[in-house]
Structure 1
Amino acid sequence: MKMYYAAIDIGGSYIKYAVLDHWGAIQTKHKQLTPENTGNGILLTIQRIIEKLQVSYVLSGIGVSTAGIVDRAQGKIVYAGPTIAHYQGTEIASFLHQTFAVPVHVENDVKAALLGEIWARGLADPANIYLLTLGTGIGGAYYTDQLMDGHYGNGNSIGYMLTNPTDHSNYETRASTNSLKRQLQQYPELPSTIEALFTEAEKGNKEGQELLHRWGTNVAQGIAEIMLILNPSMILLGGGISQQESRLLRYIDPHLDLYLPDKRFRTPLQTARLQNDAALLGSIYPFFQEEII
């Protein structure tokens, strides 16, 4: 009998959800606005989503990827920023397991996205791979034989690094996609969307190119730090902006040399393949991890 799994991706703006089969193929996919998290609003929304999916599918398990720092063993949110109110302490796995009586895995969204990329690339020996996601903020995940969380579970919180004590800016306030959007608003003569900005720059618009290079220099600084500290075999760039693929890399890659002592310290830099579906796929990866690797 074919087995199906619910995949839930909880973000500050949207909850994405899908049903995937045993091979990771998406059968159906949807998204809806993340509700105000009062009175267990997020848990109750997920419950309704899964009940709706069960009308068409017999689910063998539930995978959840989510913003925040996750205690993987307990399936619980141990730290959450201001994006989702009243989220810290939410016991996702316990609630879903008691409600639906199926196995439940809960993972941080960036870490889940890295697992999804490893699965999609068919990597038999996925050692020393780093994923950096550019979006509202900047997130990081590192896999070397297993996901590396750090001793206290807070590792790879890279958005907070490179803090400037003078203006209190940090890596994500200078180099996230949101930062690029804010900078773009200062140029009324340029297109208003990121995708259109890349297209305009590709056509030769000098102001657009200069803006992307300035932003890309900030992105490169953090990537260089990762290369110097971890020396991974590969760094992947994820988030919606990774859909720009080579158009994105050309505004980041040349600036790495500003921060590296020599080219021998470089790590191959690629864009993620799955983009916004990576965390959905990665959320159910633990169900099959032993047989995939």
Structure 2
Amino acid sequence: MSNYKVAIDIGGTNINSAVINADDLSFVESNSVPTPNNETDLIIDEVYRIAKSYKDKYAINNLDLGISSAGVIDDEAGTVVYSGPTIPNYKGTNFKDYLAPLYSNIAVLNDVNAALLGELTYHNYRQDNIFCLTIGTGIGGAFYNRTLGIHTGARHRANQIGYLLYDSHSETTFETRASTSGLKQLMKTKNYRYESNVKQLFKDAKKGDALANDILNEWSTYLAEGIAQIQIIYDPDVILIGGAISAQGENLLNYIVPKLEFFLPHHYGHAQIQTTLSLNNAALIGAIAKLL
């Protein structure tokens, strides 16, 4: 009998999903669909549809289902207890109750916690203290200590770093300015000819395009400011940067790392900064990590 588990990762832009063979963590099938607006079309209904389609297609009698989701998640209750404006009407969504007809076992995690668990499942990090931030529609954080595990906080709200650095003049936060959404908005504001094509932006910058470099320098300054706050608060061994933009690797880090010293005390120092090794699969693996 196959040892298949279903993982679903809910983001502000897309819902990624996969059937994963738990024996070797290989992907049997994976898909991605746009995230419903959660007003006329509900996210929970789309998640139910995805899970049921995999359960039926692969004849999984006792379904182990892992859910990774944006927002503040109560892992035990399987509920969204807080959500920012990127996903309207999301607070109060209860995955455990709504999906109960489908699963035998379920794990519901915050998406960045899941991404970090997935990264640790895939790769053997030697460091004891690891902070992960994912950059996408918003910005999220997760902190892992080898002895204590993933730190979630007293009210499941630990590491909500996207809300740092609120600026009352512009009414923006770290997330607003430094997320991929913030970068795309900056590209439009500065009339970049390829509008919101982030991959092309990095290509043009590498070729020496002045506007592309100007955009990336401004955006990466916002990002470096937030990472400096993480350094001061957590003092981790390593800070991982995840999300689709992490595929830029050294091209991304070369914009960020040199700017950190401007937001830290003189000779303060900082953790090793690197992009995640698992890229976009980490949250899906992390979603089922507790079910392995």
**TM-score, normalised relative to structure 1:** 0.90
Long gaps (5+) in structure 1: 289-293
CA contact (8 A) 1:68 1:81 kept: yes
SS state at 2:149 partner:
coil
SS state at 2:140 partner:
strand
**Per-residue deviation, 1:83:** 2.9
SS state at 2:165 partner:
coil
* 1:291 counterpart residue number: none
Partners of 2:230 and 2:244 in 1: CA distance: 21
Determine if the alignment matches structure 1 residue 117 to structure 2 residue 119.
Answer: yes
* 1:7 counterpart residue number: 7
- Post-superposition Cα deviations, 1:264-292, rounded to whole Å, max 9, x if no partner, equal 5210001112222221111001123xxxx
**Per-residue deviation, 1:88:** 1.5
Aligned equivalent of 1:93, options 93, 96, 109: 96
Within 5 A, what are the aligned runs for 1:203-214?
A: 203-214=207-218
* 2:109 counterpart residue number: 107
* 1:220 counterpart residue number: 224
Shift of the 37–163 alpha-carbon distance from structure 1 to 2, 3 Å rule, reads closer
* 1:28 counterpart residue number: 29
- For 2:207, the aligned partner's letter is K
SS state at 2:36 partner:
coil
- Post-superposition Cα deviations, 1:47-97, rounded to whole Å, max 9, x if no partner, equal 22222112225254000001111111111111122333332112102332x
Alignment: residue pair count: 286
- For 2:10, the aligned partner's letter is I
CA contact (8 A) 1:9 1:280 kept: yes
**TM-score, normalised relative to structure 2:** 0.91
SS state at 2:77 partner:
coil
Determine if the alignment matches structure 1 residue 287 to structure 2 residue 287.
Answer: no
- Post-superposition Cα deviations, 1:147-205, rounded to whole Å, max 9, x if no partner, equal 11222221111111111233322211221111111111133354331111110110111
CA contact (8 A) 1:149 1:155 kept: yes
Shift of the 12–189 alpha-carbon distance from structure 1 to 2, 3 Å rule, reads closer
SS state at 1:86 partner:
coil
Aligned equivalent of 2:191, options 172, 183, 188: 188
* 1:17 counterpart residue number: 17
Shift of the 168–48 alpha-carbon distance from structure 1 to 2, 3 Å rule, reads closer
Shift of the 39–191 alpha-carbon distance from structure 1 to 2, 3 Å rule, reads closer
Partners of 2:37 and 2:194 in 1: CA distance: 32
Long gaps (5+) in structure 2: none
* 1:52 counterpart residue number: 53
**Per-residue deviation, 1:241:** 0.9
Alignment RMSD (CA, Å): 2.0
Shift of the 174–36 alpha-carbon distance from structure 1 to 2, 3 Å rule, reads closer
CA contact (8 A) 2:143 2:151 kept: yes
Shift of the 36–169 alpha-carbon distance from structure 1 to 2, 3 Å rule, reads closer
Aligned equivalent of 1:271, options 271, 275, 283: 275
SS state at 1:197 partner:
helix
- For 2:35, the aligned partner's letter is T
Shift of the 154–202 alpha-carbon distance from structure 1 to 2, 3 Å rule, reads same
Which consecutive segments of 4 or more residues in structure 1 shift more than 6 A?
none
CA contact (8 A) 1:190 1:208 kept: no
Partners of 1:40 and 1:136 in 2: CA distance: 19
Shift of the 268–86 alpha-carbon distance from structure 1 to 2, 3 Å rule, reads same
Determine if the alignment matches structure 1 residue 248 to structure 2 residue 249.
Answer: no
Partners of 2:276 and 2:44 in 1: CA distance: 29
* 2:239 counterpart residue number: 235
CA contact (8 A) 2:16 2:31 kept: yes
CA contact (8 A) 2:192 2:211 kept: no
Identity of aligned residues (%): 37
Partners of 2:41 and 2:169 in 1: CA distance: 39
- For 1:99, the aligned partner's letter is P
Shift of the 188–80 alpha-carbon distance from structure 1 to 2, 3 Å rule, reads closer
